[in-house]
Every structure is written in C-alpha cells, then in structure tokens.
Amino acid sequence: MIQPGPFFGRSVSVVDDLSLDEQWYLYTKTAQIKTTILQGGDLEAYRLGDKDLSVYLIFLEDSTRTKESFRNAALFHQATVSDFDAARSSVNKNESLIDTLKMLVGYSRRSIFVIRSKVEGVCRALEASIGDYCQVAGISPPSFINAGDGRHEHPSQEFLDEFSFLEHRGWKRDSLHIVLTGDLYFGRTVHSKADGLRVFHKVRVDLVAPPELGLPEFYHHKMLEAGFEVRLFTSIDNYLAQDDVADVWYFTRLQLERMGDDVLDKVSRLKHAVTVRTDHLDKLPALCKFFHPLPQNRIAPTIPDFVTPLSLNGWDEQSRNGYFTRITLIGMLSGVLGHDYLGPLSRHQLPADDFVQEVQVKPRAKSDGHKTGIKPVDDGIVIDHIGAGRQVDQVWKLLDKIRRNLQLDYLSSHGVFASVTSDVVKGLISIPDLPDLGFKKIKKLAALSPGCTLNIVRGKQVMRKYRLHMPPRIYNFAEISCRNENCISHPGQHEGVNAEFVRRGDGFVCRYCERPHTYDDIWTD
Ligand code: NCD
C-alpha cells in the first residue's frame, strides 16, 4: 500500500475523537462512495483491498444493524473479518477484556476492533493499555471503534445519523431544528448528539420525554455549552400543542432491559407519552422526516406501522447509510482514505500537569507558624491556606484527610485559625525538619486542597513558596475511584484500569466513561 492516510491507526471512542472538520470529511467522502456504489461506478480508489487487515467484531451486547453493517463494510475493503464468539469465550471464565485483546492483536499485521459492551469507556481504556503493550511487543497498534458502550456513546451511529440529516437537509449546514424523543436517559445515540449535531451551525433541540426518561444533566449542559437552543416537553401531545414544531424527529427505543423495577411499573404511561398517533400527523410540518436508530419493539413500536409507507419514513434510508458511513470510517482508520483531507488533524492530548505555581516570597517573611501561634518552624515545611473559606468543621475534616492521605506521620503540629489579614478561616500544618514533600505528595495535596500554599522554611525564613492549584488531571492515586459501577475503571469491573479524572468546568469527568464527578466524589477516603 502507498503511504497510509492521516487517520491511520486512530481510534474512535466518542464522537469528539474526530474533529468537526474530520467529521465533515467523513460525510462528504461517504456521499461520494454512496453515489459510486448506487451508480455501479469504479470503487477501487475507495477500497483498501488488504486481507492482512483483521476487523474483529466483538459484540458483548446484542446487535443487528451495527454489527452487520460493520461486517459488510469490512468485506467491502476485502479485510479479514472475525466474529468474536463472546458467548463461548473466556470472557465467561472471568478473563479481562484487556487480556483477551492482547491475544488477538498478536494474530494480525493490523487490526481494527469494533467493540460493543455494557461497560463504559472500554475503547478509551483499551487504546491506552493495548497501545502500550503493542509498543513493547513491536506490534502495529490497532484501532478501536466504540460500537456502543452502556449508556455512554455510540459514535459510529452518530456519524450515520448526521449523514442522514445532512442528506435530508440537502447538505445545508446552516441550521437544524430537531426533536429528540423516546428514551433520552439510556439512549446512547442521543448522548452522542451533544457533539455530533455541532456539524450544523445553528442547532435547536426539542427534548420530548417524560422526566423518568429525560436527558441526563451532563448531556443537556453539553448541548447548552455548544450553543444549542434547548427546549423541554414531557410528551408528544404537549409538544404538538405549540406551533414551533421541528421537521426532523429522532426517536429512540425505550431501553427496558436497562431500567430498574421502579420505572418498569410505569412503562405503559411512559410509552404513551412518546408514541406517534394518527391524530398527530396533521400537526407536523411539510417535509418532516422521522429517524430512528432501530430496532423498534415490534409489539409496541413508538413509530407504529401505519407510518412506515408514508414519506415521513427516514429511518430505512438512515439504516442503509450505516453501511456507507462505516465503509468510510474503516477506510479512514485503515489509511486508504484521507489523503485528500486538507484540514488540521485533531490531536487529543491530555492536559499538562500545571498545578504548582511558584510565588514570590515577600522579603523577610517569616514562617507562618510564628503568626498563628503554633510551634514555629526553624527548618521544615508549612502548608498554609488549607480549605481557606470553608466552615471550621470542614477545615478540620480536610486537615485530617490530608494527614491521612499524605501519611504525614511526623512530629508536627496543625490547627484551624482565622487568617491574620481577614476573617477567613484556614487550616495550617507545620512540619519541622522535613526538607520537602516530594512530587507525588505535592500533587495529592493540590488535588485535596487547591489554593493552599507550601512554604519551604530554612533558618526561620521562607525560602520558597508555592501556590497549589487544582490539577487538570487527577490520577495515579489509590484513593480515587469512578462512581459509575459500569465504568471500565470501576474496581468492581476488575479490568485493572486505574481511575483517572479530567477537569471540566467546575468539576471533573472520568477519563473513561465521562461521568461527571464533583471534586469530593472522586475520593473514596
Ligand atoms: C441502538 C444501540 O444499540 O445503541 N441501536 C443501534 O445501534 N442501531 C439503539 C437501541 O439499542 O435501542
């Protein structure tokens, strides 16, 4: 093969793993491929034609369209397709997924893994751990494609959905007004919309679902942050009682298999709220289209059979588009497509560890221990401004947490005091004869008590002063854990993936499942 294209070896765990420019490339390339296939044109330029590429279909949850469209897209490229028999594999003997995949990467010169699992963040974790393993073993690192992870994301479905909307809008990207209805709580295809819809410049989203099936706050917030105009309605009836009705409707199945008993009791009421009736039809705008990732529940479909033959049916073409968009996606990640991509390449990098800021020591500053009345330090360290501004009892708790987590079992003193210059309450720990804390402890201290200062005292003078800020990433600590039991990094999953959090807005998200956490949620201790 000639030099592979710029997307060679990339993985797609979430929609945002391809930038908007890259997504747009995928859509325009798919349009060319679809036209060429439908017109019976020459497809050689789009085809990898390499049986040394292995495409593994690893479906640990059921699937029809996603799996079969990936299989056929891989066959289009003449790759070798392996259907991993999850039901009869050692996954059932409690083998970790990471160990299973380590074995499979050794069998081929190049592999793409298409993975569907209940466990969230699987592809992100595999990308890191298998990537490291391949480097050591001298194997070409594989690509991972998330084919749906729990209730997190479903990026390749998002690409085919957006492609279908673009077709419907005649490729006009200026605006989109869309209804999202059905199970917005569990529907991962809806969650991926918070990023995918950004391909349109002005986006209006009407969320139509009873509160039990409402969109999780995290994705709602993400949509607002992306500049979408978002309105909420509790049922299709409520929605159609007003005049401003969207012409693109996106339905999702009620994911009863994921619902707890308390919600299951109410199923018929919930279904009724998001099911189309004949009397709804004349309230829809002209040229309106219904989309659905499918499957529909044949016993109680939310888009009943009478709609199927109508021009409202956009879901059959959408389903077919799964094949075309996945041909393009595999083509991009295997390197045969992308040479004509002219935009910048998205490079997701984890933020740098910029949390320690050296501040100037005021001339003749004494160790803070002098002012506050606890034993002054001649040589050693003083940690000041701990939990500044919190209530007294909270500062005491924080002092206790810091001492325990940093194992500060030294002859030393601590206390809670009012600041000399204001009424603000703060904690202080002074440790004589300790030259420094060491990087790992400093990082932990910054994460536990952002805003505190670390003073290095020599000969009764503060020689160096550092202000510690909240680190952009919190990782490598035994005392942190993701609260989402379905996350690959949750200890209950036994995958050996260490918890890691990335700062987002005022809080943090898990690096793997992206579940939001407050800063206090992160710590198990
Ligand atoms: C969806 C899925 O699995 O997330 N289906 C699909 O991939 N086409 C939606 C669903 O299961 O209801």
Q: pTM, whole model, 2 decimals?
A: 0.89
| Most confidently predicted of 15-24, 293-302, 388-397 | 15-24
- Ligand 1: which residues within 6 Å by Cβ? 65-66, 148, 154, 157, 188-189, 253, 255, 293-294
Average pLDDT of the residues of the chain: 92
Q: Higher pLDDT residue, 435 or 175?
A: 175
| Most confidently predicted of 8-17, 409-418, 470-479 | 8-17
What sign for the dihedral angle of Cα 205, 206, 212, 217? positive
Report the pLDDT value the prediction gives residue 499, as an integer from 0 to 100: 97
Choose the residue to mutate in 66, 315, 320, 323 for probing ligand 1, maximizing ligand atoms within 8 Å of C-beta.
Answer: 66
Q: Which residue is it, tokens 């300790």?
A: 434
Q: Are 114 and 70 in contact (CB under 8 A)?
A: yes
**Contacts for 19 with CB less than 8 Å, ≥ 6 apart:** 343, 344, 345, 346
Q: Provide mean pLDDT across the span 208-234.
A: 97
**Contacts for 363 with CB less than 8 Å, ≥ 6 apart:** none
Choose the residue to mutate in 183, 189, 190 for probing ligand 1, maximizing ligand atoms within 8 Å of C-beta.
Answer: 189
Please provide the DSSP assignment of 19-68 as one string. -HHHHHHHHHHHHHHHHHHHTT---GGG----TTEEEEEEESS--SHHHH
Q: Which atom of ligand 1 is nearest to the CA of 116?
A: 3
Q: Higher pLDDT residue, 460 or 226?
A: 226
Q: Are 321 and 163 in contact (CB under 8 A)?
A: yes
Q: Are strands 289-291 and 248-251 parallel, antiparallel or unpaired?
A: parallel
Q: Could you give the CA distance from residue 443 to residue 449 in angstroms, rounded to a whole number?
A: 10
Report the pLDDT value the prediction gives residue 393, as an integer from 0 to 100: 95
On the question of pLDDT at 376 being above 80, the answer is: no
pLDDT digits (tens, 9 = 90+) for 305-314: 999 999 999 9
Q: Could you give the CA distance from residue 503 to residue 47 in angstroms, rounded to a whole number?
A: 41
Among 120-129, 242-251, 502-511, whose mean pLDDT is lowest?
A: 502-511
Structure tokens at 291: 């989309």
> Domains in the chain, please, with CATH?
15-154+323-334 (3.40.50.1370), 155-313 (3.40.50.1370), 356-471 (3.30.70.140), 474-522 (2.30.30)
Q: Whose CA is nearest to atom 7 of ligand 1?
A: 66
Q: Are 401 and 414 in contact (CB under 8 A)?
A: no
DSSP state of 351: P
On the question of pLDDT at 263 being above 90, the answer is: no
**Contacts for 170 with CB less than 8 Å, ≥ 6 apart:** none
> How close is the Cα of 19 to the center of ligand 1, in Å?
23
Report the pLDDT value the prediction gives residue 493, as an integer from 0 to 100: 94
What confidence category does residue 155 fall into, taking pLDDT thresholds of 50, 70 and 90? very high
Closest CA to 29 of 319, 336, 284, 320: 336
Report the pLDDT value the prediction gives residue 2, as an integer from 0 to 100: 77
On the question of pLDDT at 367 being above 60, the answer is: no
Report the pLDDT value the prediction gives residue 375, as an integer from 0 to 100: 65
Among 40-44, 46-50, 457-461, whose mean pLDDT is lowest?
A: 457-461
Q: Which atom of ligand 1 is nearest to the CA of 255?
A: 12
Q: Which residue is it, tokens 């480097």?
A: 135
The burial class, CB within 10 Å (0-12 / 13-18 / 19+), for 461 is middle
Q: Provide mean pLDDT across the span 489-507.
A: 92
Q: Which atom of ligand 1 is nearest to the CA of 61?
A: 3
Report the pLDDT value the prediction gives residue 330, as an integer from 0 to 100: 98
Q: Could you give the CA distance from residue 442 to residue 233 in angstroms, rounded to a whole number?
A: 48
The residue type found at 166 is: L
Report the pLDDT value the prediction gives residue 24, as an integer from 0 to 100: 98
Report the pLDDT value the prediction gives residue 439, as an integer from 0 to 100: 79
Q: Could you give the CA distance from residue 216 to residue 195 in angstroms, rounded to a whole number?
A: 14
Report the pLDDT value the prediction gives residue 480, as an integer from 0 to 100: 92
Q: Which atom of ligand 1 is nearest to the CA of 66?
A: 7
Q: Could you give the CA distance from residue 439 to residue 513 in angstroms, rounded to a whole number?
A: 28
Q: Which atom of ligand 1 is nearest to the CA of 188?
A: 4
Among 78-82, 153-157, 240-244, 257-261, whose mean pLDDT is lowest?
A: 257-261
> How close is the Cα of 269 to the center of ligand 1, in Å?
22
Q: Provide mean pLDDT across the span 249-263.
A: 87
Q: Whose CA is nearest to atom 6 of ligand 1?
A: 293
Report the pLDDT value the prediction gives residue 370, as an integer from 0 to 100: 46
